[in-house]
């Protein structure tokens, strides 16, 4: 089963507690402290596995926990370290923090192994606390607590070219003709239920990878059909090849189809509207009559800078010219792979939870003021301009009891809340 999205829970191991004990040896009635240190908790790693191409395994196992460190022992014996865990994912997996939707890491390119959560440090045994004035300390340091996160895993295929178009326009047939891919082909809608990848090998030019993105119809970006499940796979592609049924075998207008699909791409991600495109006017072997629909497509789109190539995926006519046009266009583009940058930093997140903050009412300014290191750090890595970032901000206020404290101070709707350089009106 192909799966390209999963929600999982991960937890590092807590550190083992330090031990309190004293030497008990014959002829040594007052032995000093000899409590050992606690073991380090296990860490959580993610690693790329080239043998994987789906996230299906995460539908069966959703919780992953590293081992806890063991408590220290007598005679200065350190506790055993907890076992690390390594979670293997296919290349192209983007890991997000579930609540905020922010990217933690993109398992692509050179990023083959990533430390997500550190295990808790083991506590120091009482041997470390002996001084000249306290020779028998009865105190040991507890181990650091575990760290835990809920994650969203998203597989975004890595391909140079993305094939888009309405169902049954010939994308799978084209892919099977020009690559080693063997997609399921049949004359009904939604034959293709998962992205298919294929490698194009050219005799005298550099090859490239094509992905068939299934399920795009009007309303795909809003969840209609299957498109919303697979639109994420086009985000890494450098070039979009739009395959259209030039013969109108199902009675649709090819020009309208192209505009409709482009609208869905733009609605999903505005940056996709600026992605270079090539139009492949397919099924020219089924065009009958005097009208030339390919000419109509060219009149509409070539003035916009979008080249149009007439092809028949079934007979192969025009396919070679299209492939070399794709090759030449890719050569003009930036070869830097599309990597999603880190937006959420677990180490900062867990540090923030330990920091203090204050909530007070400033009578002179008639404002409620929220300040402190916890607030400052949160604002430093939160983009309040985005919908997801603002939701994370709201959740942070609620989770940390700030809203409750504001209400305890008597805040009313429309009152001003100030946080460093930000001011906003309070509404429940």
Domain end (from 156, 175, 194) = 156
In the chain, the percentage of residues whose pLDDT exceeds 90 is 27
Buried b (16+ CB within 10 A) or exposed e, 86-105: ebebbbbbbbbbebbbbbbb
Kindly state the average pLDDT of the residues 75-92.
93
The distance from CA 10 to its chain's CA centroid, rounded to whole angstroms, is 15
Q: Dump pLDDT digits (tens) for 180-217.
A: 544 343 344 333 445 667 777 777 777 788 888 765 55
Indicate whether 339 belongs to any domain.
no
Indicate whether 218 belongs to any domain.
yes
* Mean pLDDT, all residues of the chain: 82
Spatial contact of 160 and 330, defined as CB atoms under 8 Å apart: yes
Indicate whether 399 belongs to any domain.
yes
User: Same structural domain for residues 149 and 212?
Assistant: no
Query: What pLDDT shows up at residue 13?
Result: 95
User: Same structural domain for residues 150 and 167?
Assistant: no
Q: Dump pLDDT digits (tens) for 247-287.
A: 888 888 899 989 988 888 888 777 777 889 999 999 898 88
The whole domain housing 420 covers 355-425
User: Same structural domain for residues 388 and 315?
Assistant: no
Classify 168 in phi/psi space as left (phi over 0), alpha (psi -120 to 50) or beta. Answer: left
Q: Is the pLDDT of residue 17 over 90?
A: yes
Domain end (from 297, 332, 367) = 332
Kindly state the average pLDDT of the residues 340-353.
76
User: Same structural domain for residues 297 and 223?
Assistant: yes
User: Same structural domain for residues 152 and 196?
Assistant: no
User: Same structural domain for residues 195 and 287?
Assistant: yes
Query: What pLDDT shows up at residue 78?
Result: 92
User: Same structural domain for residues 165 and 152?
Assistant: no
The total number of structural domains that make up the chain: 3
Q: Dump pLDDT digits (tens) for 349-405.
A: 776 666 788 889 888 888 899 888 878 777 766 667 766 667 777 777 887 888 889
Q: Give the single-character DSSP code of 32.
A: -
User: Same structural domain for residues 180 and 253?
Assistant: yes
Structure tokens at 125: 């045994």
Query: What pLDDT shows up at residue 260?
Result: 87
What CATH number does residue 234 fall under? 3.40.50.300
User: Same structural domain for residues 84 and 146?
Assistant: yes
The better pLDDT of the pair 167, 22 is held by: 22
The better pLDDT of the pair 419, 214 is held by: 419
Burial class (CB in 10 A: 0-12, 13-18, 19+), 140: buried
User: Same structural domain for residues 221 and 315?
Assistant: yes
Query: What pLDDT shows up at residue 188?
Result: 42
- Label residue 109 by pLDDT band (50, 70, 90): confident
Indicate whether 340 belongs to any domain.
no
The better pLDDT of the pair 204, 93 is held by: 93
Indicate whether 137 belongs to any domain.
yes
Query: What pLDDT shows up at residue 191?
Result: 39
What CATH number does residue 151 fall under? 2.70.210.12
Domain end (from 116, 138, 156) = 156
Q: How far is 100 from 79, CA to CA, in rounded Å? A: 36
- E strands of 77-203, at which residues? 85-89, 93-97, 103-107, 113-117, 148-155, 161-164, 196-202
Query: What pLDDT shows up at residue 400?
Result: 80
Q: Is the pLDDT of residue 38 over 90?
A: yes
Q: Is the pLDDT of residue 152 over 80?
A: yes
Indicate whether 229 belongs to any domain.
yes
Query: What pLDDT shows up at residue 185?
Result: 38
Indicate whether 129 belongs to any domain.
yes
Per the confidence metrics, is the pTM higher than 0.75? Answer: no
User: Same structural domain for residues 169 and 308?
Assistant: yes
Query: What pLDDT shows up at residue 183?
Result: 39
Query: Which of 139-143, 293-297, 336-340 shows the lowest per-residue confidence on average (mean pLDDT)?
Result: 336-340
Kindly state the average pLDDT of the residues 304-330.
91
The distance from CA 42 to its chain's CA centroid, rounded to whole angstroms, is 24
What CATH number does residue 361 fall under? 3.30.300.350
Query: What pLDDT shows up at residue 217?
Result: 52
Residues in CB range of 259: below 8 A, 6 or more apart? none
Q: Is the pLDDT of residue 420 over 60?
A: yes
User: Same structural domain for residues 125 and 192?
Assistant: no
Indicate whether 19 belongs to any domain.
yes
Collapsed DSSP state (helix, strand, coil) of residue 369? strand
Query: What pLDDT shows up at residue 190?
Result: 38
Q: How far is 230 from 3, CA to CA, in rounded Å? A: 10
């Amino acid at each position: 089963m192909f799966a390209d999205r999963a929600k999982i829970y991960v937890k590092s191991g807590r550190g083992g507690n330090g031990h309190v004990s004293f030497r008990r040896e014959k002829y040594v009635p007052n032995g000093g402290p000899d409590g050992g240190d606690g073991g380090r908790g296990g860490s959580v790693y993610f690693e790329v596995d080239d043998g994987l191409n789906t996230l299906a395994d995460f539908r069966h196992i959703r919780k992953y926990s590293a081992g806890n460190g063991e408590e220290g022992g007598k005679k200065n014996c350190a506790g055993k370290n907890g076992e690390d865990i390594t979670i293997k994912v296919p290349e192209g997996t983007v890991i997000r923090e579930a609540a905020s939707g922010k990217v933690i890491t993109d398992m692509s390119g050179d990023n083959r192994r990533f430390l997500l959560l550190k295990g808790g440090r083991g506590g120091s045994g009482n041997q470390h606390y002996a001084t000249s004035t306290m020779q028998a300390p009865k105190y040991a340091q507890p181990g650091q607590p575990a760290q835990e996160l809920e994650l969203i895993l998203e597989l975004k295929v890595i391909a140079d070219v993305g094939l888009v178009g309405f169902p049954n326009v010939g994308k799978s047939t084209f892919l099977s003709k020009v690559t080693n891919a063997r997609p399921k082909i049949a004359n009904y809608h939604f034959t293709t239920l998962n992205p298919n990848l294929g490698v194009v090998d050219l005799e005298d030019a550099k090859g490239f990878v094509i992905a068939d993105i299934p399920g795009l119809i009007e309303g795909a970006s809003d969840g209609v059909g299957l498109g919303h499940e697979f639109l994420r796979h086009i985000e890494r592609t450098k070039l979009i090849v739009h395959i259209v049924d030039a013969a109108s075998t199902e009675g649709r207008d090819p020009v309208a189809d192209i505009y409709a699909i482009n609208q869905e791409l733009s609605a999903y991600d505005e940056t996709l509207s600026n992605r270079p495109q090539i139009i492949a006017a397919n099924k020219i072997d089924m065009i009958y009559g005097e009208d030339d629909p390919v000419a109509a497509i060219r009149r509409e789109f070539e003035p916009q800078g979008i080249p149009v190539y007439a092809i028949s995926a079934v007979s192969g006519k025009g396919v070679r010219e299209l492939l070399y046009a794709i090759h030449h266009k890719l050569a003009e583009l930036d070869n830097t792979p599309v990597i999603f940058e880190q937006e959420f930093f677990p180490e900062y997140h867990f540090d923030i939870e330990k920091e203090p903050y204050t909530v007070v009412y400033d009578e002179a300014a008639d404002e409620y003021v929220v300040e402190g290191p916890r607030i400052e750090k949160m604002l430093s890595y939160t983009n309040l301009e985005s919908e997801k970032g603002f939701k994370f901000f709201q959740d942070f206020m609620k989770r940390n009891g700030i809203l409750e404290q504001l209400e305890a101070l008597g805040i009313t709707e429309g009152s001003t809340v100030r946080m460093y350089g930000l001011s906003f009106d309070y509404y429940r």
